[in-house]
Structure 1
C-alpha cells in the first residue's frame, strides 16, 4: 500500500499551536529579563528548525533561537574551561525559573525542555553579527562556537514553497509523518529532509484546480522522481547535501537509510 503526498495533509492542530505560542512567549520573556533587562515576550527570539521553516508536524520538536547581547559573548568566550557549557547552564537556570516542574537540561548545543504533554522545546542561545549570521555554543569536545544562518534557510524554503504552490512544505511534512509512524526506530533529521526535498523537487508543484486534469502526470510519478533522485545523486553514507539558503553542509550519514525507506514507502 502506498502513502503518497497529500495537499495540506499534515496540519498541526490549533490547540497545539496555541500551547506552543504561549510557551514560546514565556521562554522569550524569561531570557529577555535575564539578559536584556526587558519584559518583552517577543523581542530577540524567533522559531528555527522545522517549525521555523514551516515543515513541522505535531510530533516535531520546537526550536527557538534566542539572541543574546553581543557584549555577553566575551564574558563566556573568555571563561577558561568550556565557557559554552557555562552559557548553556545560565540559560537552563533562567528557564527553570519559569518552568520549575519541567525537565530542563543543557545538552550539547541547546537547552531542552520536556513538557508533560510531550511537547519538546530546544532553545539555542546565539549572538548575531552584521551579516545576520548567528554564533551559538557547542559544549562538546571542550567547547567551541558554531555558526548558522536560519533566516536564509527560511527565506529559501518560503520561496521554493511558493514556486511549487505548496508542494515543498507538504512533501517535507509527509516524510516526517511516515518517519514518525512507520520508521521511528531509525534516525532521520529534519534538516536532511528539508534539504533533500528542496533539491529533489525540481520544478514540480501542485497544479491549480482550474487546470485540465487530463494533462496531469500519472499518480505516483512525483514520488518516483524523489526516489530516483535519492538513488542517482548519491544521498548515502559519506555524502552530504547543501542546506537551502544558508548553503551549509548537511551530512547525511545517519539519516540516509531511513530516508530511503520512507521514499520507497511512498511509491
Structure 2
C-alpha cells in the first residue's frame, strides 16, 4: 500500500516529496540510515499507538549511534507522530520513522551534517490469521560484530530482503536465518517462538538476535497467562521436538507457522498459541 502523502519532516508536516534525499546521499548509496516501525491501531473512534515511546526511544538511540544527530527528543518525535495521524484516514496504519542524510554527501566522511528525520504512515491490515510456510534460509544472519542487531540500520536489512526473496522464490512465505554458529536466529523481519510441553521456547537473546518489542510483549503476556517461557540455543535438528511455532513482529503481529521445510505443525489451533494470540489482540484492541 502507498505511504501517506503527508509526512512529518524535520519538525513540521510537509508533502512527502519534500523529504526526498539527494541521489548522491550516502543514505542511498551506503544505507547510512536508521529506522523503526510501530503500529497505530484504529479502535472505534480513537488511535492506540502500541508501545509508541519504546519504539521512538529505540529509534533515537540507534540514530545517535550512527552519528545521525537529531535535535528532537523522543517525546517531540512522538508528538509529531500524533500530529501526522490526524492527517491520515481513520484505519490502522504502520508508522515508519527514519533518520537519514538528505544532502549530496556520497562518501563515508561528510563535510556537513545533513541529517534529517521523517515519519510517514502506511495503511495496513491487522489480525491476519493465515498460517505461514517457512524454510531454513541459506542466507546467514548478519553478526552483531558486523552491524549491531539492535540499531535497525537500513543497510543491514538487505540481509532480511535476501532471506525473504530466497524463501518466496522457492514457494515459502519467509526464511528462518541461522547465525554464524548454526543456531536458529530469527525470520527475515520477525522473532520466533515455539511451543513444547505447554511452554514457549524462543532463541536465546544473544547480540546476534534482534531484541524485538513484540517479542518482549509476548514474554509479558505469557507470564500473565502462567505460560513458561524458555530461552534456549536452538538448532534446526531440534525442530521436530516442537508442537507449534509462530512469528512475532510489529507488522506481522503474531502469525502461526504451519510448516518449516517438510516439517508440519498444527500451530493455528494450538491452545498455547491461541491463548497468547487472544491476549495480544485484547491488548491491541483497547
Does TM, normalized by the shorter one, top 0.5?
no
Structure 1 or 2: larger strand share? 2
Structure 1 or 2: larger helix share? 1
Q: What TM-score results when the alignment is normalised by the length of structure 1?
A: 0.25
Q: What TM-score results when the alignment is normalised by the length of structure 2?
A: 0.23
